[in-house]
Amino acid sequence: MKRQHDKKQNPWLALMIGNSRLHWAKFNGAKLVEAWDIEHFGAGDERLASGEWKKIPLYVASVVPSEMIFWQNFPNVKIINRDQIPLKGIYSSLGIDRALAVLGAGATSGWPILVIDGGTALTLTGADEQRQLIGGAIFPGLKLQIKSLAQGTAALPEIPLPSQLPPRWALDTKSAIQSGIIYTVMAGIVNYMQAWWREFPKGQIVLTGGDRTLLFSYLESLFPDIAKKVKVDPHLIFWGIRDLVMSH
C-alpha cells in the first residue's frame, strides 16, 4: 500500500465488511475520530455520496467476497488482503478480520496475543512473540446459536440475550435456551483462555466484536479473577488497519 497522506493529520476511512454489519471508522492520521456500524446493504453509507468523502482514502477489508465487488470500483479505495498482513504462518483461507484483529491487538497490547471476537461467528485467534500465527477456533456466535435453535425446531422461539448472567438451572424455555448457550459458551471460552495461559503465561487476551460487552459481563460474574486479566476493545480491527496504513 502506497502512503497517500504525508501530513500526520490527514483524514482516511476504514471499512470492515463483516457477516452481519459494516463496521466503519474515520481517522485523522493515527487518531480514530469516529466509529460506527451499519446494517448490510449494497451501497453502504449515504455519507459516501457527499463529494468530500469521495476524496478521502478508503481502506476496505471484507469477509464477504460478494460485497467486495461493489467497493472495488469506488474512487480512492484500497483493498486490504491477507498478503499485506505482517504475520507469519497465515493459512490461505484465514479470515482477514481475524488477521487484522490479531495485528491490531498485538500492536496495542503486545505479544503473545489471543483475540476472542464475539461476532456472527465467535473466533479465537492467537499469535506469539515472533508474530507467528498459533491458530485458533471458530464456532457459532451467541445470536447465531439462538437463531439456529429457533430455525431448526418447531417449539423453540428466538429469544433475546440477557444483559446479566441468567440462572443456570432454568424452569422456562426462554431461560433454558439462555442458560444452555451462555454457560456452554463461557465454559468453552474459559477453557481456551486457560490453555492459552498454560502455553503463554505472559500472553495477553483481548475481547472484541458485537457481543464483547455481554461476554465480558458474563465472564465477570462467573470468573471475576479471569476477567481482571482480560481486556475489552471494540476497535482491534481498526488498530490493525491503522498499523498497515501508517507503516507504509
Ligand X SMILES: Nc1ncnc2c1ncn2[C@@H]1O[C@H](COP(=O)(O)OP(=O)(O)OP(=O)(O)O)[C@@H](O)[C@H]1O
**Contact letters for ligand PAU, residues 122-161 (x by CB under 6 A):** -x--------------x-----------------------
Stretch that binds ligand PAU, among 118-126, 146-154, 163-171, 231-239 (CB under 6 A): 118-126
Note whether 99 and 91 are within 8 A (CB): no
Cα 146 to Cα 45, 119, 195, 208, distances in angstroms: 29, 13, 27, 20
Residue 120 annotated as part of some ligand binding site:
yes
Note whether 14 and 241 are within 8 A (CB): yes
Please give the grid coordinates belonging to residue 142.
451467541
Active site members: 97
Closest CA to 163 of 150, 173, 178: 178
Closest CA to 32 of 54, 12, 56, 57: 12
Indicate whether 215 belongs to the interface with ligand PAU (CB under 6 A).
no
Q: Which of residues 160-199 bind ligand X (CB under 6 A)?
A: none
Indicate whether 48 belongs to the interface with ligand PAU (CB under 6 A).
no
Indicate whether 119 belongs to the interface with ligand PAU (CB under 6 A).
yes
Among 93, 153, 163, 164, binds ligand PAU (CB under 6 A): 93
Residue 88 DSSP one-character state: B
Indicate whether 92 belongs to the interface with ligand PAU (CB under 6 A).
no
DSSP alpha helices (H): ranges in the chain? 51-54, 65-72, 96-109, 142-152, 173-199, 212-222, 224-228, 236-246
Neighbours of 98 (CB within 10 A): 25
Among 13, 57, 59, 95, binds ligand PAU (CB under 6 A): 95
Residue 212 annotated as part of some ligand binding site:
no
145 binds, among ligand X, ligand PAU, none (CB under 5 to 8 A by kind): none
3-state class of 162 per DSSP? Answer: coil
Indicate whether 19 belongs to the interface with ligand PAU (CB under 6 A).
yes
Specify the residue, 117 or 243, whose C-beta has the smaller distance to ligand X: 117
Cα–Cα distance for residue pair 33/16, rounded to 1 Å = 16
- Kindly state the number of chain residues that form the binding site for ligand X, as judged by CB under 6 A: 16
Which residues are near ligand PAU by CB under 6 A?
19, 63, 93-95, 97-98, 119, 121, 123, 138
